[in-house]
Structure 1
Amino acid sequence: MISLKPTLSAAQAREMIETSKSKADELNVPCSIAVIGPDGYLLAFDRQDGAMSGSVELAINKAFTAQIFNNGTDRLSVLARPGAELFGIQHSHNGRVVVFGGGVPIQFNGQAIGAIGVSGGTVAEDVAIAEAGAGILAERLVPCGA
């Protein structure tokens, strides 16, 4: 029996970037936006004019974190507080784990098949921009090879 796993295409990743850029422009927030695949590597990236240099690695690492934990980075922030069950998790994976909002997993049938990470605004702005990008694919993901 052949089992096809869903995946993100480079074209879908670029579409997510463009949608996120539109939301960032609407909010007047120059930012960096990263989309990664299920393997944790970049599919697409954009750094808008005026985005802080520190936003580059944060956007990539927010996407990485959302992918490996199949959870939004804003939700992980609660679990990583002192005394919570994941306290200190941000020190794992060579410091790549980010525990504040802006990373959103892309899911298909509950499975993370990629993620988007945004950095450059407030936590609420980063989350809104990332969710805008992630939201455009909700109804259109298809299995690889279909």
Structure 2
Amino acid sequence: MNPVRQTLSLSHAGAMAALAAAVSKAEEIGIPQNIVIVDTSGVFLAGIRMDGAKYLSIETATGKARFSASHNAPSGHQAFETSVTFGLATKGGTTNLPGGLPIRFDGVLVGGIGVGSGTGDQDLEVARAALSAVGADQI
């Protein structure tokens, strides 16, 4: 038995590069966004509420990031009943709305990103730009 294991983690420089790329994409498409990046435990690493982004969407962006980090899967693809259960079990700490992606390098989970304030497709476009900027696996 090995009592330790090596893990990968997203550095603050990586989180900031991903955040900057997401902001740039949001500006390019003309949709101000809330963008949140968390580690594998759902702990906040970086985030922003862009000028004009819907203020309540900061909560959904955080929930999307936490969902994706916790489930190692994009948000928005679970059955409705499952989504409600996740929301209740986490006291609103996660949401299954589209716009969250896990952050992986060579298949290894290092966190999640959640984007909110646009449509689900717009949120995902911004999240994918962040993954691309840091060389994370595309989903």
TM-score (norm 2): 0.87
Q: Which runs of 5+ in 1 are unaligned?
A: 141-146
Corresponding residue number in structure 1 for 2:84: 88
Paired AA for residue 119 in structure 2: T
Partner of 2:42: 40
Percent pairwise identity:
30
8 Å Cα contact 1:70-1:111 kept in structure 2: no
Unaligned runs of 5+ in 2: none
Count residues with an aligned counterpart: 134
Q: Secondary structure at the match of 1:95?
A: coil
Residue number in structure 1 paired with 2:14:
12
2:74 corresponding residue in structure 1: 72
| Matching residue within 44, 61, 64 for 2:63 | 61
Q: Paired residue for 1:126?
A: 123
Q: How much does 1:97 deviate?
A: 2.1
SS at match of 1:35: strand
3-state secondary structure, aligned to 2:127: helix
TM-score (norm 1): 0.83
2:28 maps to 1:31: no
Question: CA 1:109 to 1:139, structure 2 compared with 1: closer, same or farther past 3 Å?
Answer: closer
Q: 2:134 aligns to what?
A: 137
For 1:114 and 1:16, how far apart are their aligned partners in 2?
12
After TM superposition, the structure 1 stretch with the greater mean CA deviation from structure 2, 1-10 or 114-123, is 1-10
- 8 Å contact 2:38–2:65 — kept in the other structure? yes
> 2:75 is matched by which residue type in structure 1?
T
Q: Post-superposition, which runs of at least 4 consecutive aligned residues in structure 1 deviate over 4 A?
A: none
1:76-99 CA distances to partner (integer Å, 9 max, x unpaired)?
xxx3235xxx36333221122211
Q: Give the SS at the match of 1:15.
A: helix
Q: Deviations over 1:24-68 (max 9, x none)?
A: 011100111011112211111111101111011111111001000
- Are the aligned partners of 2:41 and 2:70 in contact in 1 as well (CA < 8 Å)? no
* Structure 2: distance between partners of 1:3 and 1:88: 34
SS at match of 1:46: strand
